[in-house]
Chains A and B, each alone.
Chain A
Amino acid sequence: MVQLARIGLMVGGGLVALAAAERWEAFQVPWTVVAGAAVMLVFLAATLLAFARRPELAEVAGALDQRGGTHDRWTTFLSFGGGSAGEMPLHALAQQECVAYLCARDFRPVLRWGLPREFPWLAVPALALALLLWDIQVTRLRLAEERAEGLEGVAETVDGLQALAEQAERASKDADSEELKRIAEALRKSAEAMKASAANRDEAEKSTMRQLSALEQMVKSLQQGPARATPEELKALAGALKEKPETEGAADAMQRGDLAKAAEELDALAAMLKEKGDALTEEQVEKAIQEALERLAEQRQLSEALQQLVQQMAETNGQQGATNETLQKLAQLLRQMQPQPGQQGPAGKGQQPTEEMLKNLLAALQNMKNGGGQQQGDPSQDSSGGSGKVAIQSFSGQPQPGEGDPMAGAQIPTGRPGTERDSGTTASATGTQASEPAEKGADLALRGQLGEGESLSQFTPAAADSSQARQRYRELYEAMAPAAQAAVLQEEIPLGSRFFIKRYFEAIRPPQ
């Protein structure tokens, strides 16, 4: 029993340690198997140990003598029991005396039966184990609830991402674009990652923001792509270069749209200038390109690619070999604009659907990130003629023909004191319910009452769905708010109207 209690204590300690490890999420324990094995182990080990450490007969006799106060009669009897008692008369006498004494005495009270003192201590690991298992159960339920909450929190975003992924995949097939295919794959992976990491609501939110930010960065980087010049710029540049005989060949090729040929011509010119070392010709070529770019700059804003070229020319002005570098850069620019094999149509036109898709994706991701509208169907199947583009027009000065007036029926503030009832901050500038969200794919214009003076109209693009363009709207609001504040402060506004103006700006303030 003592061995049983001691081994039970040791195994109990082990089980408590195991439960503690599970409690702090080190690993999971199959308790049915472990508990059964532990009980078997305790009994088996106790039996083996009790057998191995069983006391010898002399030890038992000694213990009985000590407990019973027998003056070592058990020991003596055991010692002389099988010996030569007959030869030694006192030995025989001693044996007889011991037997007579031991037979006359009742040793049952001496033998203590009962649970060993270690036994009650088994309650300690048992209690600790029970508490830990209870705590594990409670923790598991709580974690499951939190995970469910987290999954619920990311469900809409995940659905939105999957819808976007399908849309991107379809678009990639239509446009035969590897970029869109990659994006579709990334969207799907992000959706899965969100689901996997949604341990609770906080984690779900953080994971959502991380994934959406990563996707946004990805789309933005794809959107930027290599710097290119526009076809119009190339046309104008060709016209300017044609005026000089050295660059006439390249200009002709550019006008024909043979950008590869034009690049070859420019490379050949650069090689010739480098070989001859003709400073005069070099200066003339440099001047021709510079004048062409200046002329373009006067007419319109240069594209980023040509701006880079101008900047390079300014940095290397007067240096030997600078013209060669300029020519090589221009040739490289032309080669980049050369249509790739498999791409349909002239350069620039084949990428149009992809770019638009990237824009839409970016807007949708930004809306998701800022808690905007969710994807509610296939955005490509919009009713606006399949352009896949939704523009929310704000601050529109003129009502658009054919569009419903969302303000119709709403109470328009008169600006006179006492005519309107102050019912506190409302969802709209008119104090009524907010306007219904636009149908998917439809352009929406918010119109106010036209006053005297100039008005400004600006389109705020959003995703090709019914979501609101919150991010762009917030940017617009923040840009315009100081000017509006300044205007309100400068103008002499009647006291009765100040409340409504204040209410108006409160109403159009984007949600935090």
Chain B
Amino acid sequence: MNVPLSWLSDFVDLTLSPRDLADRLTMAGVEVEAIHEIGDAWDQVYVGHVEEVTRHPNADRLNLVRVVAGERMLTVVTGAPNIAAGQNVPLALVGAQLWDGHAAEPKRITLKASTIRGVPSEGMVCSEKELGLSDEHEGIMVLPADAPVGTPLREYLGDTILELEITPNLVHDFSVLGVAREVAALTNQPFHPPLVPELPPPTDGGGTDGQPLVLITSPARCARCVGVLIEGVTVEPSPEWLQRRLTAAGLRSINNVADVTNYVMLEWGQPLHAYDRDQLAGGRIVVRDAAPGEQIESLDHVVRKLDEQMLAIGDAERAVGIAGVMGGADSEISDSTTNVLLEAANFNQYAVRYAMQTLKLPSDAATRFSRGLDPNLAWGAAARATALILELCPGARVTATADVYPEPVTARTIDLPYGEIKRLLGVTYPVAETIAVLERLDLRAEPLPAAGEAEPTLRVTVPTWRQDITQSADLVEEIIRVIGYDTLPTTLPTGRVVEPQRDPLRLFADEVRDILAASGLNEIICYSLTDEPTLDKLTFNTPWTTWWEGHRPNFAATRLVNTLRSDWQILRPTLMADALTKLAENLKHRATVRLFEVRPIYLPRELGQLPVEKLTLSIALGGVRSVRSLYSTAAENSEPLDFFDLKGVIEVLLRRLGFTAVTYTPSTYATFSPGRAAELRIDGELIGVFGEVHPAVAANFGSSAARTMLAEIDLMALLARLPQRAVRGSLTRFQATVQDFAVVVDEATPAGEVQEAIVRAAGPLAQSARLFDEYRGEQVPAGKKSLAFEVTFSAPNRALDDREMEKVRGRIAGMLQKRLKATLRQ
């Protein structure tokens, strides 16, 4: 809302500079978003009087104008068609800062002395556009006859506009009068409301059909409706002062009657509507529920369809307005209107908000109504508007009034136990100061007789325009916002200690992040929304399904109803797509990219139920294993990261988390290349999948890597299986024995099975087993391979001698033979 200080100062003396006033208001909760100065650049512009206009000797379309401004008398050349002797006009002297009247975009110019067609022009008479007042550049701006000739234009027309952001609770500040009342309270100045002549008391009838002028048939949704019938009105352009105030406040001038309704809305906060009474069937209005499907052409000439949740204004036959939102086109005030029915009503805020949102019509009136107006505003605002119309149309007269107000709202009282101030704020103020502050806000506070207690209770009477004050905490806020939050001390909470609890999942997630970052990966955090086509990019030749259950969820319960981007349709059920997208993006400027993300995925349940948010880990690797350096060969520099680089990361992660019994089995998930993907299982449970991304899938995401690695692991399932850390509490003093085992086995036998057989056969003596060589060739029969393991044996209570080792070796050989038809090479 824009509030011109010139208007505000009608009702309160402004004792602070605009900037200080803005700060004071903002600190107290009425936020000033901007301060606009009208005329701050009008340094060399004066109110001039046109003495004489003569034709330019060398140009038909130009005139020479003799202008007087105080002691100055100068001649300027102008092409303005509306220039005439006797006018008062804005006169710019050489050096004035103006806006370019011909430029499409706002452009500053400095007026220079010039000669136009052989005649020197000593200044310029200005259009509104050249002064920055509006876009009007058809002719020069003509000032009123009583404008003070010779004074700087800034003193006459300059103004300061406060642009306010009114929060939804402060509907009483949504008006010049409301802000004036606020300023009066905050600066401790008296408030001078406008003096308004009383309206004639309500009359019977008033409609041309004998019915009442105003009826309410939906009293639950309209608390009050005031009607004033004004006959003999002359509709014409508004006087300059009225136009200027509306323009300064950001509204467009229409005609004198419409302008008065807008003016009073801005001044009082009460929206009003003026009907051409002769266009109303029955010459009257009814506030009623809209009929389903009922249509009306609104003032903006759009046909709107109403429904029964909206409130309509009807005449005897049809809808003539959408209550609180916008009037109808065919009862609009026109140049030929002579009889006006003025309406000032109190419509239910929810009905208006519903209509405003459903019809997408956020009008000034609807914005005010939807915040809940004080029904007691309507009569005074109608009186103020009537007085202004009568002032502008001297022949007009009030012939009927109506006020339907079945349940008048009265001021309420709230008891504020004085201790509440200290209890909520941690500080208190003298009772007299508090009462004085409340009084400044029109909150009459009366100390109740204290019954032996040290601290009184204040009984506070709340005026009806303060609908936001309903309980004692609201009063405490009023007190502190006027006294100032700067008076609050800083203390730390005392009292009972909260029993410390730790969130295991959060700590686990942080541990995973730390391990992966220390392993050389970079954490990413991606947007949590995606769409189904993106998911289908994740699989080759089949629709996307989950890797854990192999089916596609019904996304109905995680689909957005409204969205900002076409690729934000559902909550993501996997982190994989984002991992591949970010991998591909970063590979455009990096030879190697290693990323991970720890965020929830969202698994839909039934419609109307919250989805399951499952904390998940994704890892994506791509690019070359070693960057070009002193220490790597050209061949090494072109070697791509592969399956085993990813498996190495996963092994480090699981080992650091304390997992020892992890199994890897082949995966056929359609994101991966067949034969290069694994399922990660713990206690037989599927915890995650990882592998080399299928080349077609990698291409879908634009990955430029020769091989693209991807993993997704369910961190909640992992946490659920987190082992107790088996810490080696003591060290054996006996030397461990290290032996190598070369195993000849069928080509197709996985190395993991060979290792498992060795470890199983060795029993508790085996401390570790490590595959260190793989050989195919002359020494080994065709179709076989030789796998070499280094196995470390030890016992806690003895050194292992040759005889014992011979037995172990025999057990291993037997197990390999029995399980895998494998033999030990000597």
The answer to whether A and B belong to the same complex is no
Chain B residues in the interface with A (C-beta under 8 A): none
